[in-house]
Amino acid sequence: MLYLVGLGLHDEKDVTVRGMEAIKGSERVYLEAYTSILGVGKERLEAFYGKEVVVADRDMVEMDSDEILRDADKVDVAFLVVGDPFGATTHSDLLLRADALSIPYTVIHNASVMNAVGALGLALYNYGQTVSIPFFTDSWRPDSWLERVRENLRLGLHTLCLLDIKVKEQSEENLARFVIVGRRFHALERDFAVRWAVDQQRWNEVSNGVYGVRD
């Protein structure tokens, strides 16, 4: 059995009782660590769960999923996801691969930033399309997300913006300092994250002539 287990948004104690049972009963446990990052390291998870946890990066999940699914038709394997398992399309793809191999699976849901954003006091049913704002590079400045924000504004809807965390580019030291929780930066870095996102949005607005001027 393959278990997709949502871990919630903060630390090792956010796992559900059902999720904990699945983890403890699994022969292998993987932690997906590129769409979101918990506020604690895998050592805390291992101590709390009593199981070794293997960190699975994007390459492993997307290119080497056979290793994750190995013998999952004979033994239990847990795949841990920060937030809810269906917060990223990659996890749906893993289930499709399991199904193609006739591997049974169970999804154990948990809290996600998609519903935790309700803590802002804005009604969830008044949100439009969610957008992801990527880090700009000198040669890559995508603006497709900006049109979705504009469309939400035209419809009188709120927009949840997910900020790119660039896991591959972060050192372990920086990841520990940032303490990123479910794509949300810890308060120590939150002001930087907001300024960065706003600056990129302004650049896109100017380049698209929103203010009647183009560079």
Instruction: Identify the structural domains of the chain with CATH numbers, from first to last.
Output: 2-111 (3.40.1010.10), 114-207 (3.30.950.10)
Instruction: Give residue 160's pLDDT.
Output: 92
Listed as ranges, residues in the chain with pLDDT below 50 are 169-192, 206, 210-215
**pLDDT score of 144:** 83
Distance (Å, rounded) from C-alpha 147 to C-alpha 131? 10
Q: Take residue 45 and report the two structure tokens written for it.
A: 């998870």
Give tens-digit pLDDT for 139-196: 777 778 888 988 999 999 999 988 776 655 444 444 444 333 333 333 334 444 555 5
Question: What is the pLDDT at residue 16?
Answer: 98
DSSP 117: G
- What per-residue confidence (pLDDT) applies to 143? 79
Selection from 45, 63, 3 nearest residue 27 by Cα: 3
DSSP letters of 128-195?
---EEEPPP-SS----HHHHHHHHHHHTT-B--EEEP--GGG--HHHHHHH-EETTEE-HHHHHHHHH
pLDDT of residue 195: 55
- pLDDT score, position 34: 81
Beta-bridged to residue 127, according to DSSP, are 158
Burial readout 77-92 (b: 16 or more C-beta within 10 A, e: otherwise): bbbbbbbbbbbbeebe
pLDDT at 102: 97
Contact indicator for 29, 12 with CB cutoff of 8 Å: no
The share of the chain scoring above pLDDT 70, in percent, equals: 76
Distance, in Å, from the CA atom of 77 to the CA atom of 57, rounded to the nearest integer, reads: 17
